[in-house]
Amino acid sequence: MGEFGIGQPVRRKEDVRLLTGGGEFTDDINLEAQVYAAFVRSPHANAKIVAIDALAARSMDGVIAVYTGQDLVDAGVGVLINDASYTNRNGKPMNKPVRQVMPVAQTRFVGEVLAMVIADTPAQARDAAEAVEIDYDVLPAIASTAHALDKGAPLVWPEFGENLIVHWEYGDKDDVEAKLAAAHTRVRVDLVNNRLIVSPMEPRCAAAEYDAAADSLTVYTPSQGGRRLQMMLARNLLKMAPEKVRIISRDTGGGFGIRSKMYPETVMVAFAARKLARPVKWRGDRSETFVSDYHGRDQINVAEMGLDANGRASVLKVETLLNVGAYLSENGVRLPMEGGGRIIPCMYDIPDFYFSVKPMFTNTICTDTYRGAGRPEANYIMERLMDAGARALGLSREEIRRRNFITESQMPYKTHLGFTLDSGDFDGTMQMALDAADWNGFEARRAESASRGKLRGIGLATFIEGAGSRPVEGMRMRFEENGDVTLFAGTYSHGQGHDTVYAQLVNEFLGVDFDKVNLIDGDTATSPETSNGTFGSRSSMVGGMGVKRASEAIVAKGRKIAAHLLQTDAERVVFENGIFRAQSSSVTLAEVAAASRDASKMPEGMALGLDETVVFENDVENFPNGAHVCELEIDPETGILEILNYIAVDDCGVVLNPFIVHGQVYGGVMQGVGQALTENVVYDASGQLLSASYMDYGMPRAAHMPMIEALFNIVPAKTNELGVKGAGEAGACGAPPAILSAVGDALSHIGVSHIDMPLTPERVWRAIQEASVKAA
């Protein structure tokens, strides 16, 4: 293991470029003679579109075109698709509405795009967008997850007669009910998993140009990998051959799940560029990202668990309401089943399980994948239940977990929803966290805080993740004449540090200098044909294994060439640290690469070139897991909460670069802290978004960020040869339940039995007030 190999804390090679303004984000792209788009957005959560009058707008200075949904219909533009397929137990399929890029007849959420203006300047486009007059017939709306399924609630899609999309179930409800009733101890939690604004630093943006002669379209946009967007745009929307559509993302300022999706604005910019045969650009502003980027989370969970006298959980019932928004987004409806469902009931061995999911339509922007995508929600349910179980039985929180963990001897362990956990030392990982946090010494610290009038609490959360989804990915490796190695990846680094980690892997496997490895990604014209992108903590496994497979193929080929050059047999050639050796003679990889370009130096019958394109394919995902301990202090007079200590122990398998994985842990924890403490989307009863700016939406600040001690308990994954497990989403899984556990600990001593996220000062203060009223 060299200085730049696997496991080394190599500094990120992309940082100098990004931190010195060398990044090239979509808004940095300016196309010759480009014109600008602005969008007209619905001010109503539910309204019939009676008429759109763009006459005044069309006559304004600089205005080139105004397009409405009807123009798209007339031009034969397709619709935004969703390929989820769930059925009710009675056989009735899920309700699937058609989602037009811009609706013609009815708008269903505030901020929905209803018309697009193209003008010479951005200001002219905005002025004209304000002049487009839309006559609405306003209808009652429903935004509330808790009430959208009530009888008499306004219907988002009246043709379905209900807001319920599908009632999806797993397990035998009656049997589970009976077992819960018979259990020695039965605990229940009622939880709200708050809706979140995802807030990438870069707002959405798109620029497109159309080459009429070639009938080809190039679209620049932030993304998480362009292949899926390319296919959707070409096949489903603009009805072009995929090879005629190119998606380019040079740099992207944060993805978090929502940047992997196709949005109406992107389609419209591409449509207009083709229609006008002129480059068109649009940069969304922050207000637009609030109302039109997909949101995250938004579940209500009622869960019950039955335990025996020893604290062994034997039966579990989870009933989830999921707010999907006005349409079916690409993945929103799947999250409890295919996101959280990978793991639930998480790291616990619970034989009897009933799981009910009711996704629903509401008059809100869609929800979709957000860092963790269903797994944070699943872990949150289980951890709150475990804490409730501990309290009910008088067991410590670590002991009840220990008694219910799936053990290594049970692995491979088949989960209820059909996944196989391959590895994990849950008890050992938890113990590391407890030790690092001085868990057993806590009572003295609690007493010290109490002497200052503060309520101190310590919390524990263990969690498991399912990472590396859609485990198929291409990777291409090319040898340059100057000795550099270029990787063409279908994964797309938008903050994850692939330039660095892939270079480490090439250094490890081929001995090529770290600085001589270059990554090209974010371009459908150069990425391997099989490319899915970067999401779901997948790139370490699928991208990393792609590098490994390509390297192996190159070494195999190289040995033959080296043998030819060294006049020996390939079996006698050993490859190590970039050098092919046979006894006392040797040749370097660079020399072999050079020879591979020269037919005279190649063995007979071998094709020229050392380059390789491989497709890595795996049957299974990997299962990162961890244990977080959070210690905090509450000012009972104000409800202000301060995190004092935070321990994150992660088992993300073999760590390719601890520096980068720590960064992932810090970022994930911070987003979890945000969900737990400050972030919350609020719609009013009419479907207006009240938390529509950072004046009202609580983004966590640096001051909320605790010092985090990040540790590893490395248990290599058995599902891939690198032994890696994903690292990107763990923090967001661990932080909310760890913080809630700590607050529960601090407040249970004064009689508070329930509190929900986000723990804003007023919420905490009210919980304390109510408990003291009850106690009085």
| Closest residue by Cα to residue 228 from 495, 613, 520, 490 | 490
Min CB(544)–another protein separation in Å:
39
Compute, in degrees rounded to 10, the torsion defined by CA atoms 420, 425, 431, 432: -110
Min CB(627)–another protein separation in Å:
28
Binds another protein by CB under 8 A, chosen from 701, 753, 770, 774: 701
Q: Is position 741 an interface residue for another protein (rule: CB under 8 A)?
A: no
Tally of CA atoms within 13 A in the half-sphere of 474 that contains its CB: 17
Going edge to edge, which strands form the sheet with 517-520?
A: 517-520, 485-489, 472-479, 612-617
Q: Where are the beta strands (DSSP E) in 335-471?
A: 352-361, 413-414, 420-421, 455-464
Min CB(190)–another protein separation in Å:
21
Question: Closest CB to another protein among 531 and 678?
Answer: 678
| Closest residue by Cα to residue 384 from 451, 460, 458 | 460
Residue-by-residue DSSP string for 317-351: EEEEEEEEESS--SSGGGIIIIIGGGTTTTTB--S
Q: Give the interface segment with another protein, choosing from 148-156, 355-363, 491-499, 694-702 (CB under 8 A).
A: 694-702
Binds another protein by CB under 8 A, chosen from 126, 244, 250, 754: 126
> Is the distance from CB of 365 to CB of 291 less than 8 angstroms?
yes
Q: Is position 212 an interface residue for another protein (rule: CB under 8 A)?
A: no
Question: Closest CB to another protein among 638 and 753?
Answer: 638
Q: Is position 211 an interface residue for another protein (rule: CB under 8 A)?
A: no
Q: How far apart are CA 220 and CA 8, in angstroms?
A: 34
Site string for another protein, 744-763 (x = CB under 8 A): ----------------xxx-
Lookup: tokens for 92:
């009735």
Binds another protein by CB under 8 A, chosen from 695, 707, 775, 776: 695
Q: How far apart are CA 517 and CA 213, in angstroms?
A: 37
Q: Give the interface segment with another protein, choosing from 123-131, 260-268, 373-381, 660-668 (CB under 8 A).
A: 123-131
What contacts 59, CB < 8 A, 6 or more positions away?
A: none
Binds another protein by CB under 8 A, chosen from 273, 697, 706, 719: 697
Tally of CA atoms within 13 A in the half-sphere of 607 that contains its CB: 5
Q: How far apart are the first and last CA of the chain?
A: 65
Min CB(639)–another protein separation in Å:
8
Q: Give the interface segment with another protein, choosing from 181-189, 427-435, 542-550, 691-699 (CB under 8 A).
A: 691-699
Q: How far apart are CA 646 and CA 437, in angstroms?
A: 8
Min CB(693)–another protein separation in Å:
9
Q: Is position 675 an interface residue for another protein (rule: CB under 8 A)?
A: no
Q: Is position 694 an interface residue for another protein (rule: CB under 8 A)?
A: yes
What contacts 561, CB < 8 A, 6 or more positions away?
A: 592, 595, 596, 601, 602, 603, 606, 610
Site string for another protein, 255-294 (x = CB under 8 A): --------------------------------x-------
Question: Closest CB to another protein among 483 and 698?
Answer: 698
Min CB(352)–another protein separation in Å:
40
Question: Closest CB to another protein among 126 and 275?
Answer: 126
| Closest residue by Cα to residue 420 from 411, 407, 409 | 411
Min CB(637)–another protein separation in Å:
5
Q: Is position 121 an interface residue for another protein (rule: CB under 8 A)?
A: no
What is the footprint of another protein within residues 610-639 (CB under 8 A)?
637-638
SS3 state at 89: coil
| Closest residue by Cα to residue 625 from 477, 338, 405 | 405
Question: Closest CB to another protein among 130 and 576?
Answer: 130
List of residues contacting another protein (CB under 8 A): 123, 126-127, 130, 287, 637-638, 640, 678, 680, 682, 690-691, 694-699, 701, 760-762, 765-766
